[in-house]
Amino acid sequence: MAPIKAYQPPKQVILLPQTQQLKACTTIIRDKNTQRADFIFYSDRIIRILVEEGLNHLPVVEKAVITPTGKEFHGIDFQGRICGVSIMRAGESMEQGLRDVCRSVRIGKILIQRDEETALPKLYYAKFPPDIASRYCLLLDPMLATGGSAIKAIETLIDYGVAEERILFLNLISCPEGIAAVVAKFPAMKIVTAEIDAGLDEKLYINPGLGDFGCRYFGTDK
């Protein structure tokens, strides 16, 4: 039997360096026996790393400053403003991690739910900064499964004037099916993910996954 080839994500996907620290954190949040306090703590650690990596892929410009010694230092500065956009409700868990890294960052929200008649994702609510079209957007949602909600969210941002190449989608766990769906429709945007799982099961849940992230993080039932 020929060996199974390892999954190679497309160039639009930035996978976090698979360090021992990251692997230990993801192992804890995947464990069904992990208590909520620990789930929140280690999820927040991963989210902070995701945000930092996402910022690495925003454009910068050269900037010179004068240090307290009176010398000139040639560094860089971010080009343009950013905002976070969380896909409610699980994506709201990632807002504080963004605020911890970016002072006074603006946050938008999108509510997308499955339409019972069509079984397709439907936009129910969207609230963005009025100047969102001029900002770089970090789209926040912990899980990328089928990609349906992400695609609807990205379509909404584009409808509000955000350029596709100005959108970065940050998530903790993704799968090849969701990645393929998003990249096929939006080849100019980037996805930053902590881990890529094997795929979807017959119920379209990520396998092995970690369950319902929002329920585990906020301590609520489905």
Output the pTM of the full model: 0.92
Determine, yes or no, domain membership for 135. yes
Q: pLDDT digit string (tens) for 99-118?
A: 999 988 999 999 998 776 77
Please state the rounded mean pLDDT for residues 125-150.
Answer: 96
Determine, yes or no, domain membership for 157. yes
Q: How far apart are alpha carbons 197 and 20 in whole angstroms?
A: 17
Higher pLDDT pick, 139 / 119? 139
- How buried is residue 98: exposed, middle or buried, by Cβ count under 10 Å (0-12/13-18/19+)? buried
Please state the rounded mean pLDDT for residues 125-136.
Answer: 96
Residue 2's pLDDT is what? 47
Determine, yes or no, domain membership for 68. no
The total number of structural domains in the chain stands at 1
Higher pLDDT pick, 57 / 1? 57
CATH number at residue 179: 3.40.50.2020
Determine, yes or no, domain membership for 186. yes
Range of the domain at 163: 13-61+77-218
Q: Is the pLDDT of residue 156 over 70?
A: yes
Written as six digits, the tokens of 118 are 């069509």
Whether residue 216 contacts residue 39, with contact meaning beta carbons closer than 8 Å, is answered with yes
Residue 1's pLDDT is what? 45
Q: pLDDT digit string (tens) for 7-54?
A: 899 999 999 999 999 999 999 999 999 999 999 999 999 999 999 999
Length of the chain: 222
Mapping DSSP to helix (H, G, I), strand (E, B) and coil, where does residue 199 land?
Answer: strand
Mean predicted lDDT score pLDDT of the chain: 93
Determine, yes or no, domain membership for 7. no
Determine, yes or no, domain membership for 4. no
